[in-house]
Amino acid sequence: MISVDEALDSILGYVRVLEPEQKPILDCLGQVLAEDVCSTIDVPPLDNSAMDGYALRAEDTRGAGDSSPGYLTVVGELAAGSMPTEEVRPGTAIRIMTGAPLPQGADTVVRFEDTDELGRKSAGGGLSQIGILRQARKGLNVRRRGEDIARGDLVLKKGTLLRPQEIGMLASLGRTTTLVIRRPVVALLATGDELVAADQPLAPGKIYDSNTYTIAAEVSRYGGVPKILGIGRDSVQSLTEKIDQGLDADMLITSGGVSQGDYDMVKDVLAQRGEISFWTVRMKPGKPLAFGTMTKMEGERERKVPHLGLPGNPVSSMITFEQFARPAILKMMGRENLAKPTIRAIIDNDIGNNDGRRIFARVIVAKRDGQYYASLTGPQGSGILTSMTKANGLAVIPESSKGVKAGEMVDVQMLDWTEE
Ligand code: AMP
Ligand code: MG
């Protein structure tokens, strides 16, 4: 028997960060930047207005107030995207929209609300003159050229995870492609004579293959590209054929056929095609696990593909995926933080631990009075997939503990965060 941590260390020791590729920025969400990105432009490119208002000289507002407006002659109007043609001389102003470049001579923008514009308009008057109702300090409501980013600045460092804001940042620098660590292709094979594909009629004695779907969705969720191999039958030929189709991938994940004393052929075939260890991991659910490498000859060269054999039970396969395959995929993608987000919560149920395994109990986490509480979803059998569909977290009971009593604190790995 090995611990969850030993199994994970061993798996991570086998997977490598993949190579970079240049691709369109919109396809890079969730990928890791493989280059330093420096700006070739100033952002914003020119001094511009942060408000709709009047561009003027701060000097001309001295002493202005509600009862003592400073009157200025309006010499033009500027929309965002157009360049000023007029200059602001003493005693004049230009009506300006947010984002429009600050005209020559102006150093400040006074917003509409601080002028008598509304009063003039409702009185049916023109805007050839404007009354300024506030004294403004120089630079008010002006966004300076390069105040966000100066030309030459290092804006995004190699290793940065690309979220929507980083993708927008690349666009704001005029970039449409960038260099990122590529996404791993993960080949998925379900095994078992009892399995039927979801689009086929269900014959007696058969069950639908759900693992392919759960695991494919997990792979996509964490940024990989699933390659579905389908269902391998419990025969040497079927399994060998399917596995061979998966050896172009960056990782092969099989489910089923790895338990001790299993009747399946899976173990024999896996053992023949590569080097593999069959582990009993001190965890619940998900005890049996296989890990190794499959070998493929590419001409003279041997290509080694990491292989993870998950248990067949739907809950076990998903939880072992979360604990072992997810960090491996993230590592291949160049991610550094591989841990699942974890919170502390008060458990609402007693959970016993009598055989020194790390228990991953399916729970619903809710916040009450500023404190997180976790309640078991119901029956916890490793074949009960509804225990996962009802859950938003996995309460982790350490292998060293005899269990927890209701009211005690536990760590909960969040499967997802819902808006509160
Ligand atoms: P095994 O690990 O092959 O002994 O399978 C353990 C249990 O999981 C058995 O009840 C299988 O029928 C079930 N099982 C295996 N593979 C799948 C799958 N792809 N989808 C749903 N259930 C499965
Ligand atoms: Mg099986």
The model's pLDDT over 39-72, given as tens digits with 9 standing for 90+, comes to: 999 999 999 999 999 999 999 999 999 999 999 9
pLDDT at 201: 97
pLDDT at 266: 81
Q: pLDDT at residue 323 above 90? A: yes
Tens-digit pLDDT profile for residues 303-316: 899 999 999 999 99
Tokens of residue 242, six digits = 């399917």
pLDDT at 270: 85
Q: pLDDT at residue 372 above 70? A: yes
Kind of pairing, strands 177-181 and 288-298? Answer: unpaired
If one residue of 193, 207, 212, 218 were mutated to test the ligand 1 pocket, choosing by the most ligand atoms within 8 A of its CB, it would be: 207
Q: What is the mean pLDDT of the chain?
A: 95
What is the SS3 assignment for 286? coil
Query: Domain spanning 4-17+183-332 has what CATH number?
Result: 3.40.980.10
Between the CA of 277 and the centroid of ligand 1 the distance, in Å, is 20
What is the SS3 assignment for 272? helix
Minimum CA distance residue for ligand 1 atom 10: 313
How far is residue 92's CA from residue 303's CA, in Å, rounded to a whole number? 74
How far is residue 328's CA from residue 306's CA, in Å, rounded to a whole number? 10
Q: pLDDT at residue 356 above 80? A: yes
**In which band, very low, low, confident or very high, does the pLDDT at 361 lie, cut at 50, 70 and 90?**
very high
Q: Which atom of ligand 1 is nearest to the CA of 210?
A: 20
Whether 72 contacts 126, CB under 8 Å: no
How far is residue 380's CA from residue 316's CA, in Å, rounded to a whole number? 11
Q: Which atom of ligand 1 is nearest to the CA of 194?
A: 12
Which numbered ligand comes closest to the C-alpha of 194? 1
Whether 179 contacts 159, CB under 8 Å: no
Whether 181 contacts 333, CB under 8 Å: yes
Tell me, rounded to whole angstroms, the distance of Cα 335 from its chain centroid: 11
Query: Domain spanning 342-414 has what CATH number?
Result: 2.40.340.10
Between the CA of 312 and the centroid of ligand 1 the distance, in Å, is 4
How far is residue 17's CA from residue 183's CA, in Å, rounded to a whole number? 10
Q: Is 349 left (phi over 0), alpha (psi -120 to 50) or beta?
A: beta
- Please state the φ and ψ torsions of residue 375, each to the nearest 5 degrees: -120, 140
Tokens of residue 90, six digits = 């003493």
pLDDT at 109: 98
Is the C-beta atom of 193 inside 6 A of ligand 1?
no
Q: Which atom of ligand 1 is nearest to the CA of 311?
A: 2
Q: Which atom of ligand 1 is nearest to the CA of 316?
A: 8
How far is residue 361's CA from residue 390's CA, in Å, rounded to a whole number? 12
Is the C-beta atom of 255 inside 6 A of ligand 1?
yes
**In terms of C-beta distances under 8 Å and separation of at least 24 residues, what long-range contacts does 292-297 make, across chains too?**
293/14, 294/243, 294/246, 294/247, 294/252, 294/270, 296/244, 296/247, 296/248
Written as one letter, the residue type at 233 is R
Q: Quote the CATH superfamily of domain 26-43+148-181.
A: Molybdopterin biosynthesis moea protein, domain 2 (3.90.105.10)
Q: Which atom of ligand 1 is nearest to the CA of 231?
A: 19
Q: Residue 110 pairs with which residues in a beta bridge?
A: 54
**In which band, very low, low, confident or very high, does the pLDDT at 420 lie, cut at 50, 70 and 90?**
low
Which numbered ligand comes closest to the C-alpha of 384? 1
Spans of all domains in the chain: 4-17+183-332, 26-43+148-181, 48-143, 342-414
Q: Any idea how long the chain is?
A: 420
Between the CA of 340 and the centroid of ligand 1 the distance, in Å, is 26
Q: Quote the CATH superfamily of domain 48-143.
A: Molybdopterin biosynthesis moea protein, domain 3. (2.170.190.11)
Kind of pairing, strands 70-78 and 92-96? Answer: parallel
Is the C-beta atom of 257 inside 6 A of ligand 1?
yes
If one residue of 313, 320, 385, 386 were mutated to test the ligand 1 pocket, choosing by the most ligand atoms within 8 A of its CB, it would be: 313
pLDDT at 167: 98
pLDDT at 263: 62
Which numbered ligand comes closest to the C-alpha of 309? 1
Q: pLDDT at residue 375 above 90? A: yes
Is the C-beta atom of 26 inside 6 A of ligand 1?
no
Q: pLDDT at residue 297 above 90? A: no
Minimum CA distance residue for ligand 1 atom 14: 312
pTM for the structure as a whole: 0.91
Q: Which atom of ligand 1 is nearest to the CA of 262?
A: 4
Mean pLDDT of 324-341: 97
**In which band, very low, low, confident or very high, does the pLDDT at 419 lie, cut at 50, 70 and 90?**
low
Minimum CA distance residue for ligand 1 atom 7: 313
Cα distances (angstroms) measured from residue 105 to each of 42, 91, 102, 108, 155: 21, 11, 9, 10, 32
What is the distance in angstroms between the CA of the first residue and the CA of the last residue of the chain?
40
How far is residue 382's CA from residue 229's CA, in Å, rounded to a whole number? 24
Helix (H) or strand (E) holding 307: strand 301-310
Q: pLDDT at residue 369 above 90? A: yes
Tokens of residue 40, six digits = 């070739």
Q: pLDDT at residue 261 above 80? A: no
pLDDT at 262: 62
Between the CA of 12 and the centroid of ligand 1 the distance, in Å, is 26
Tens-digit pLDDT profile for residues 268-293: 888 888 899 889 999 999 889 999 99
Is the C-beta atom of 314 inside 6 A of ligand 1?
yes
Tens-digit pLDDT profile for residues 130-183: 999 999 999 999 999 999 999 999 999 999 999 999 999 999 999 999 999 999
Tens-digit pLDDT profile for residues 208-247: 999 999 999 999 999 999 999 999 988 889 899 999 999 9
Kind of pairing, strands 251-255 and 301-310? Answer: parallel
Q: Residue 65 pairs with which residues in a beta bridge?
A: 68
Q: Which atom of ligand 1 is nearest to the CA of 190?
A: 19
Tokens of residue 248, six digits = 């172009």
Minimum CA distance residue for ligand 1 atom 12: 194
Written as one letter, the residue type at 408 is E
Between the CA of 291 and the centroid of ligand 1 the distance, in Å, is 18
Which numbered ligand comes closest to the C-alpha of 205? 1
Instruction: Please count the other Cβ atoms lying within 10 Å of the Cβ belonging to residue 241.
Output: 13
